[in-house]
A and B are shown apart, each in its own frame.
Chain A
């Protein structure tokens, strides 16, 4: 089986700093793989292992971060076979429609793909749309909220998790799936996986290689931090009886 899992490197949001004009300064933030993409990678690795004789290709459309060796090893140490990156600076700020068009072209170029997997949404923008749009642009059966995936003789058996319960569905291939964040626990790469990651193939394609441009349909006018409520930050250190008594009196006055 040929499985592609799409992922996005995002900045660690706890390390984002604010400038005086409330714009975001991402320069000190470490890169990571989007949290929800890890669930998709895990589903891909498990499915590839279950089916046997399969490959799991990691695919990402981004700018300079695709050159980051630590991030390449990060994705290649999680049960993936190889990495394909579509690289262009415009992709860092392109909207879902633009990125989906690029990913769809990349999947066509990879060829003979059976399953594409996406996380619930990117770790930073979290529109929860790009994966679905990619599958639909390809004209494939496309489903979201997939919590469980099992191979069957005809294709796959899926658990789709909705607000009021689950749907059990059987689908034929090819199929594009956006998975939930509560269906599995992403594996923790072991030292041997990280070492092996350095030897796995990486290919970088340009937009010209795919014959596509990254043209956003929507326009981002601004990204600004909200006005913050200043908090008092009266912090007591330790569980002494004086502290607990003080906390109790603070609480009593509020409740």
Chain B
């Protein structure tokens, strides 16, 4: 397969550097990495890096200038909140649209073709771009490369983003959850009614040895669980052996995150809930009666 003449990767985390550089090697003859922190200058033929204390938004102008000079055929950008902003800067500089949240990518001559979900997960869009193409790629799309130092690494000095004054940082405790590894998952939706019901959910999940996840509204609107636990088209995508949906209506945006589960079980008191056409086993009933009864049986057997 003919490769593209020059591919760039823009990534700040080590895991993204290793994965995107591995992916980039499939597509390009030469690979340049733009990253933060000298320790992350890995795998590429050449790396540029900003100091680790540099604020991401202050680096965007320099990144765009360098990319415009080099004019790579393809730029892979880490899919993070800052990465999306960087991708937009690059897309405007190159007069193109970003191929974002893509699950697959391949070459068709000089064209870069990709696949992503649309309509909340109801469909896949296949979309093609000409060089210089910009793609925003999430974790897990490519396997990580073996870490190896770059032959050439050059430090960059960032500017300062005009019109923006940084006041302060408010770090948050990131819940480290590895839902992707869980074989059994209990998902909770707004149907559980209140945050107090989580103790019942915890007891149930513990009784079957499952991890706990949720729908987007539970994390973002109700804030009963942290955002790291929400499953769906813009959250975590899972492939557990068993997924038990409690108080979840079964909207497409959520179900697309668990459609690959081995078996789906639903507990919901609304018989019209879409989840009942998307599960293997289900019970139309009140979770406040069903779950305690199941917990009792699980404990006594």
Contacts and interface: CB of A to CB of B under 8 A. Distances in A.
A237 B264 CA distance: 17
Interface in A114-132: 123-129, 132
Q: Which bracket fits the contact residues of B?
A: 35 or more
A235 B126 CA distance: 36
B251 interface: yes
Contacts of A16: 119, 122
Interface stretch (A42-50, A56-64, A105-113, A214-222): A214-222
Contact of B220 (A97, A137, A182, A238): A182
Given A124-B118, A221-B113, A162 B82 contact: yes
Contact of B294 (A11, A132, A143, A247): A247
A62 B83 CA distance: 28
Interface stretch (B43-51, B93-101, B191-199): B93-101
Contacts of A248: 293-294, 297-298
A96 B90 CA distance: 13
A96 B98 CA distance: 8
Interface string B137-158: 0000000000000000000000
B97 A126 contact: no
B280 to A, nearest CB: 4
Interface stretch (B33-41, B68-76, B167-175): B167-175
B274 A163 contact: no
B282 A236 contact: yes
Contacts of B278: 231
Nearest to A137: B92
B164 A163 contact: no
B279 A168 contact: no
A217 B280 contact: no
Interface string A151-164: 00000010001111
Contact of A165 (B171, B208, B220): B171
A98 B276 CA distance: 40
A246 B58 CA distance: 60
A133 interface: yes
Given A97-B95, A129-B87, A232-B281, A226 B294 contact: no
A239 B286 contact: yes
A185 B222 CA distance: 10
A67 interface: no
A255 B242 CA distance: 8
Contacts of A123: 120
A13 B96 contact: no
B119 A221 contact: no
Interface of B: 57, 80-82, 84-85, 87-89, 91-92, 95-101, 113, 118-120, 122-130, 161-172, 174, 184, 208-210, 219-221, 223, 227, 233-234, 241-242, 244, 251-253, 259-260, 263-265, 271, 274, 276-286, 289-290, 293-294, 297-298, 301
Interface of A: 11, 13-14, 16, 24, 95-98, 100, 123-129, 132-133, 136-137, 140-145, 157, 161-172, 175, 181-182, 185, 216-226, 228-229, 231-239, 241, 243-245, 247-248, 250-252, 254-255
The 6 lowest CB-CB distance pairs between A and B, nearest first, are A132-B88, A239-B285, A165-B171, A141-B163, A182-B220, A168-B167
